[in-house]
Structure 1
Amino acid sequence: MKNAFDLTGQRALITGGGTGLGLGMAKCLVACGAEVVLVGRRENALQEAVEGIGERASYRVCDVTELERIPALVEGVETEIGPVDTLINNAGVHLKKDASEISDTAFQNVMQTHVNAGFALSREFGKRMMERGTGNIIFTASMASLFGIPLVAAYSAAKTAHLGLVRALAADFSPRGVRINAIAPGWIHSEMMHKALDADPKRKEKILTRTPLGVFGDPEDIGWAAAYLASPAAKFITGVCLPVDGGASVGF
């Protein structure tokens, strides 16, 4: 049988691709044969990531919250590099604060990054994918998409919105050949996670005790899931959210 996990000849664009989960996904997709374009705000981080990955990686500096820049980003990438087969909406910001203390501006900043930018990118790449009759869009969801977590109301609202977008976009785009899915990472070793947990040992202990595997995950755990969803092996999967969480979403 042909290797259904082979991504040779495919291109993926990953927002927030210079560090953390985005970088882990990029490495795994490249290992499966894909080319990757990393998008982010910090050129130094993007350069370092591309140098570490090798010749099948490139980058574009873009703040995706500036929605007016997205059409030009999409046009530039597809003209200069080639058609994008997989879009991974991974760019994100975290806000740890009691809900009663979150300002309207702070709430909207989180929504702008996760939801508005993710939708705009999906719309622009989705148009092109549907014209070609094939493509994949993957959202990085969260455990906060699945259950209530204290101190992350804005983040939870944004990540829950991702699931609604996955279902609605699948209904709109999949009849024209584009699959839409999400990955819900559990607690994964990353700069964002350690920033949230290292100064909060009780929260850290609570997470580990409700995670059946009893450990935090690695970025590559999310990367291999993304590679699967982007591959022909997942050709009959659309509109779903795949938890990659060590069992946290079913733990007690």
Structure 2
Amino acid sequence: MTLFKTELFADLYRWQLTIDHNKPFFLVKGKFIMLFDKQIDGTPQLTLIRNPSELDQLNDLIMNKLKEARCMTFNSDTIQEYLDRKDAKIDSLEIDEKIKLLLSTAPAGNGRESERDSVTDFYHNLSEDGTSIYMSADSIATFLFKAKVIVPDLLTVDLDLDARIDYLARIRDYVDREKHASVYIINTPLNSLSLLLEGDLSLVSLVQPGSKKVKFHIFDSDLIGPELENARAATGINVGDFIDKQISQAEKHR
């Protein structure tokens, strides 16, 4: 998926803006701008501009236009400010609630019964209203073998190996028990968790390798949905079997 490939090499932030999509451009600030167009006969045309004064003018025009743009990417430092905004659009209310749920996840390890209930409640609340959950395989392995805090679905503090095994077992049991739940494991990098909603907007959260911060990318569901489904089809991982294999490997380290 393009998003993950980009985040591996750049700290990507996305904005949504209504512009003429027939005239795309690529700007590297202070270096150059590439303008893509077509000639009258339909032949593709590329214009490369390096002149500093022209670059400054174009950059100012773009920055002014961006004031009208809607930011679609947030990190762990800015996500609360986004959620606290007063001018929330109707189409974002559902995704906002999912993000709040991720951020309010209680730490694991507070007792077996309470933890079982918290895991069940968490995944039930995430998947209600037809939401599909896509966990990256590396996030589960990192949680189990490195005891690192990754994305919010596996948020925890100082859990020993037995507790981590037990927590993942409860995720497995939930998926096995709730056959209707759309919970999948896919082969994407950066310890990601993605939520595909039935509404207009969906979410991809990941850990940016440079900043080590959790990023929240909000996408049009029609745009990200096919990519997540293609990743699921290409991966073909059974959640229960995958977690069982990870647990079996972890138990050898006890």
Query: Would the TM-score normalized by the shorter structure come out above 0.5?
Result: no
Q: Which protein is richer in strand relative to its size?
A: 2
Answer with 1 or 2: which has the greater Rg.
2
TM-score, length of structure 2 as denominator length:
0.31
Question: More helix per residue: 1 or 2?
Answer: 1
